[in-house]
Structure 1
């Protein structure tokens, strides 16, 4: 049912119909939560991030210590640039589940990407990497925080490993930028061209390529 709703939302942007389909489903508390998170994802993909946050915030008031809801609302808050809310929610997740690698990573990456409290950002990502040492997105975060700290040579090691595990568009954007900084424009352009072919609509990738190529 969730896949049907997601397909419906993508086909002709039938977002409200997809939401109605998900709201009509019944089940136990776990199923209802899954449908609620799916509804928020439909809204997020339709660029209705604020509406998605309202949907999950309503549920969070009834279940304030639900780590899935806390994490999802933190990610929505980050997209809305509500950094204080994002940070408070992720810290609560870490308090409730100290081994939640993705919460450590999300907070560390968000701080690093804004060049905020880089010592703390790196410590959070190090902890995430201890918990999930082969996760490509956490490896990407480690590369990015090292780059933000001025260590491009160390950064590229983590980013190349991340990209080898998963050729993700945003990992490609980070790897290409670090390679460019290291005067390895040929390698950077190869990564950019490969990633643009696979992910032509990714905003971060497109913005990074245009900025560096001066287009």
Structure 2
């Protein structure tokens, strides 16, 4: 599985939890993971998360997972990986040559990758869908911020995306799913944050109600004058 950390720090609060949940699911099931990023600032974000989760499951770099960091070029990289992954990713994040990574020995193109998951606060998942999914037939999944997720519903309906995680809620649901399945011992950050989000929504509703009450009271006062 390929996980692309295509996001910047400003949306990390929403996307980091789902990234951890997905990686925990993969490592618990013995799924090998290739990590990378098409966003410059996603480079260090991805490295930190994949290293942390790999340690939790005692996974070995180069054998159970590989991380290639930021790759400039965007759609060019997507297309090149469909032909030859080695040419697109000649060195990993730690400057280890592709041929020195045992896990990558049998990975030549998208035919050897079960799916691509793009985590992003922008349209990177759609680009993966167009240039990797449509052209080469690899399955594409998306992890998006809450404001971006609705834009992808048409692609979910047409099965151009095989699935999507949307915002903090999506991360919390995935956390609970892997806990229920026995892949992790407790819900994590996203699940804890949902309480605060729920209270903030209630506060907004209360303020709207108070605003409307104030409006009608002021209208009555004006009518009496």
Q: Same fold (TM over 0.5)?
A: no
Higher helix share: 1
- Higher RCO, Cα 8 Å, sep 6+: 2
**TM-score (norm: length of structure 1):** 0.30
Higher strand share: 2
Q: Based on CA coordinates, which of the two structures has the bigger radius of gyration?
A: 2
**TM-score (norm: length of structure 2):** 0.29
